[in-house]
Amino acid sequence: MDHAGMPDLTGDLNFGLLFLIGFLTSFHCVGMCGPLILGYIAKNAKAGQHSHTAHLLYGVGKTLSYTSIGALFGAFGAIVAFTPFTQGAIGVAAGCFLVLFGVHMLEIFPALHHFQFKTPGFVMRFVGKEYRKHSNPFVIGLLNGLMIICGPLQAMYVMAAGSGSWSQGAAILLFFGLGTLPLLMGFGFLTSLLSANLTPKLLKASGLIVMALGVIMFNRGLSVTASGWDFNTVVARVSLEFAPTGSENPSCDNEQTIHMEVLKSRFAPNKFTLRKGVPVKWVIDAKELNECNKEIVVPDYGLNIKLQKGSQVVEFTPKEAGVVPWSCWMGMIPGTFIVVEETPPPTTDSAAPAAVAPEETAAQRLLHQFREQWQKVLD
């Protein structure tokens, strides 16, 4: 049975959330970037030019800038995270920052009113100088990526660094940047439709989404560090406490074999029950590889498995009973080994079918229903 884990940051749903965060926080951006847009609109009007092309150039420049800098932050995270533990620690730190920044956006704790990074003075001086020098909307859009004084943009750059991947960092900022464009490119019309009371509510809604993404990233970090406190591992441990189970895998007395497929966004299955002290042959069939699932890490066993298209076998021996977490190298796709002391009953018929699993207990049924409901929420 597969675990129903927490959502990751790579699915269409979460990229949609990033777009929504961009749109909601763009009401904050209007006050900062709106005058810059009015500047090039006024110059185009004096020259008798239409603003449509200028808006398009500004949007392309801004999106390109956000995406490129997001890729740089993601690459920086990958360089700093030279071991799975440090990568996980960065994810935990980034998740904490996002949660705190989301609380800051809700404006419920005055102590967090100034919670954001201070932009270096030389960066602000450079950006200000270039803004005064250029009137080209494409260049103005490019310079927007350096407006690190913007709190929501800081949060997205932190998320990009926490991803530990240049491609994920670029994707995070791409969707966030696209979300900011509709309002900024037509803010004169759109803002006239909004009451003064609605904008703060929209900003608070984006704060809740930022907090949710922070929790997801925090959980990812816990998964990669193999702390045993990520959502997937805790659910497996609770399952084991409520209803201890025996090995479910076909095996003989001196070997146990498990089979798994690697798909685009999941491992199937992602939970295995193993016997302590019995060598394991883990047959992995990599059907759909991508940047995220190309590598599997099992920190407790010191395994760092680089996958190739097709089938490969990994061998190890579980030495201790308990729950052993593992995941893709980015912590987005989790799995667990449940190692038990139990040994299967002897059989005299080698062709006999595998033992029938015992009937579910009330605790098992309750946990199973919880997983089904959680999966429906994710779907």
pLDDT in tens, 171-216: 999 999 999 888 776 654 455 455 556 667 777 787 888 888 888 8
Per DSSP (E only), the strands in the chain are 251-252, 255-262, 267-268, 271-275, 280-286, 295-298, 303-306, 310-316, 322-328, 334-340
- Domain assignment present for residue 102? The answer is yes
Query: What DSSP string describes 239-255?
Result: HHHHS-----S-EETTE
For residue 152 the two structure tokens come to 């929501």
Q: From 196, 225, 254, give the residue that closes a domain.
A: 225
Residue pair 174/157 in contact by the 8 Å Cβ criterion: no
Crossing angle, helix 166-185 and helix 51-80, to 10 degrees?
150
Q: In this structure, are 101 and 152 located in the same domain?
A: yes
Q: How big is the CA angle at 125 (ends 133 and 66), to the nearest 5 degrees?
A: 80
111-115, 265-269, 316-320, 369-373: segment of lowest average pLDDT = 369-373
Q: From 178, 198, 225, give the residue that closes a domain.
A: 225
Q: In this structure, are 287 and 151 located in the same domain?
A: no
Q: In this structure, are 237 and 219 located in the same domain?
A: no
Q: In this structure, are 70 and 181 located in the same domain?
A: yes
- Domain assignment present for residue 306? The answer is yes
- Domain assignment present for residue 1? The answer is no
| Residue 139, CA atoms < 13 Å, CB-side half-sphere | 12
pLDDT band at 357 (very low <50, low <70, confident <90, very high): very low
For residue 98 the two structure tokens come to 């996002």
Phi-psi region of 164 (alpha: psi -120 to 50; beta: other; left: phi over 0): left
pLDDT, tens digit (0-9, with 9 covering 90-100), for 228-263? 788 888 887 787 676 555 545 545 568 899 999 999
Domain residues for the domain of 47 are: 12-225
Q: In this structure, are 217 and 276 located in the same domain?
A: no
Judge whether residue 349 has pLDDT over 50: no
State the total domains in the chain: 2
- Domain assignment present for residue 110? The answer is yes
- Domain assignment present for residue 348? The answer is no
Q: Within 10 A of 12 (CB to CB), how many other CB atoms are there?
A: 8
Q: In this structure, are 325 and 237 located in the same domain?
A: yes
Percent of the chain exceeding pLDDT 70 equals: 65
Residue pair 80/90 in contact by the 8 Å Cβ criterion: yes
The residue-averaged pLDDT of 49-70 equals 84
Q: In this structure, are 273 and 220 located in the same domain?
A: no
Beta bridge partners of 272: 337
Which secondary-structure segment (H or E) carries 331? none
- Domain assignment present for residue 6? The answer is no
pLDDT, tens digit (0-9, with 9 covering 90-100), for 81-110? 767 778 788 888 888 888 888 888 787 877
